[in-house]
Amino acid sequence: MRTKQGSFISPSDITPESVWLGRRRWLRQAALGSLALGAAGLARAADDDSPAGPVLDAPLDARWSTTEKPNGWRDITTYNNFYEFGTGKGDPAAHAGRMALTPWAVKIDGAVQHPMTLDLDDLRRLAPLEERVYRLRCVEAWSMVIPWIGYSLSHLLKRVGPTSGARYVVFTTALQPDVMPGVSQGILDWPYTEGLRMDEAMHPLTLLTFGVYGRALPAQNGAPLRVIVPWKYGFKSAKSLVHIRLQSEPPVTSWMRAAPREYGFYANVNPAVPHPRWSQATEQRIGSGFFAPRLQTQPFNGYANEVAAMYAGMDLKQNF
Ligand SMILES: Nc1nc2c(c(=O)[nH]1)N[C@H]1C(S)=C(S)[C@@H](COP(=O)(O)O)O[C@H]1N2
Ligand SMILES: [Mo]
């Protein structure tokens, strides 16, 4: 067990790294197999579990990765929340492919010395890409294990030079109403916005994410780039980013406005604070099979050793 996180995962949750590496090798072989088989192989690849799309490979960063068995590509790319495309779990996979992804630019401004607008190539080159295998815990009480590719958001934030007024970071998602059937249904105040305190945004676990499973992010997972904050409920991990703003005031995010009686700004995973309509004590690991027992949800989604110090002195039952 090389990672700190291992210390609070129960042994039955753990898949030895050799099995995980074996899976990666297996997936590569499966991809080669479909090349050798030509069109027949590609047709089969469409309904098997092989990663697809442009290759975006990066070395595994074991320091920040769990050794739990990752979900398959199919789970990760067909069971999604991306309300811009509808509220059904299959809606993002059905509709997000129509999003216009090129050209793509992200504006970074506000309380910074060097406001800038960067295109996707600039952003990808800004720091070395790493593979980070993280748990994702949705507020709806399901979870997955996902091998993301990206780098710590802190690299980008350091580049723009935060000023002393930079206490919060606000993320804004792309808004393309013509191709986003969920936008005209109301649901949230669009565009989707999320936010972090500056120290949370600078934490090495907070990942500016460009890929998954060795491929560029599929549209439904937030192409071409998103943020992943693994110790918070999944809704904090905003997709398809177009704007990152540093500011002194705490933002009111889309979900805070839409559901003020549910979770607040922090939204740290906390099994002790139930949702108004359901418990958060346990979670269903997607893909584990209908009869698999639910897992105990861990404080901070199992990242307490890494992040709990940021909340010292805060009442986590109030400031959720
Ligand atoms: N723009 C945007 N980002 C979003 C969402 C959304 O509806 N719109 N849903 C969030 C929720 S609730 C979750 S659980 C995760 C899901 O990410 P995934 O579909 O890649 O697993 O994305 C988050 N980011
Ligand atoms: Mo979620």
User: What is the residue-wise DSSP string for 12-72?
Assistant: GGB--HHHHHHHHHHHHHHHHHHHHHTHHHHHHHHHSS---SSB----B-GGG---BPPPP
When pLDDT is averaged across residues 163-180 and rounded to a whole number, the result is 98
239 lines ligand 1 (CB under 6 A): yes
Which of 19-23, 59-63, 285-289 has the highest mean predicted lDDT (pLDDT)?
A: 59-63
234 lines ligand 1 (CB under 6 A): yes
- Specify the pLDDT at position 24: 52
Q: pLDDT at residue 200 above 80?
A: yes
Q: Going along 176-308, which residue ranges are E strands? A: 193-197, 207-212, 215-216, 226-228, 241-247, 282-285, 295-296
172 lines ligand 1 (CB under 6 A): no
81 lines ligand 1 (CB under 6 A): yes
Higher pLDDT, 47 or 35: 47
221 lines ligand 1 (CB under 6 A): yes
Average the pLDDT over each of 2-11, 143-152, 285-294, 300-309 and give the range with the smallest value. Answer: 2-11
Q: pLDDT at residue 72 above 60?
A: yes
Residues around ligand 2, an ion, CB closer than 5 A: 81, 138, 234-235
Name the residue at shortest CA distance from atom 14 of ligand 1: 234
What does the DSSP 8-state code read for residue 132? E
| Cα–Cα separations (whole angstroms), residue 247 to 110, 165, 195, 199, 259 | 6, 6, 10, 13, 23
Q: How far apart are CA 37 and CA 53, in angstroms?
A: 18
Q: How many whole angstroms from 176 Cα to the centroid of ligand 1?
A: 16
% of the chain exceeding 70 in pLDDT: 85
Q: How many whole angstroms from 80 Cα to the centroid of ligand 2?
A: 8
> Could you tell me how far CA 221 lies from the centroid of its own chain?
8
> Could you tell me how far CA 98 lies from the centroid of its own chain?
21
When pLDDT is averaged across residues 91-115 and rounded to a whole number, the result is 98
172: its two tokens:
């804004």
Instruction: Dump pLDDT digits (tens) for 293-309.
Output: 999 999 999 999 999 99
Residues 6+ apart with CB under 8 A from 311: 266, 268, 319
213 lines ligand 1 (CB under 6 A): no
- Specify the pLDDT at position 189: 93
- Specify the pLDDT at position 281: 98
Q: How many whole angstroms from 37 Cα to the centroid of ligand 1?
A: 35
- Specify the pLDDT at position 261: 85
86 lines ligand 1 (CB under 6 A): no
Q: Token pair 């998602």 is at which residue?
A: 173
Q: pLDDT at residue 93 above 70?
A: yes
Q: How far apart are CA 97 and CA 125, in angstroms?
A: 25
- Specify the pLDDT at position 288: 92
Q: How confident is the model at residue 290 (pLDDT cuts 50, 70, 90)?
A: confident
Instruction: Dump pLDDT digits (tens) for 233-273.
Output: 999 999 999 999 999 999 999 999 999 888 999 999 999 99
When pLDDT is averaged across residues 132-154 and rounded to a whole number, the result is 98
Q: pLDDT at residue 64 above 90?
A: yes
Sign, Cα dihedral of 231, 234, 239, 244: negative
Q: pLDDT at residue 144 above 50?
A: yes
Q: pLDDT at residue 28 above 50?
A: no
Ligand nearest to the CA of 140: 2
- Specify the pLDDT at position 316: 81
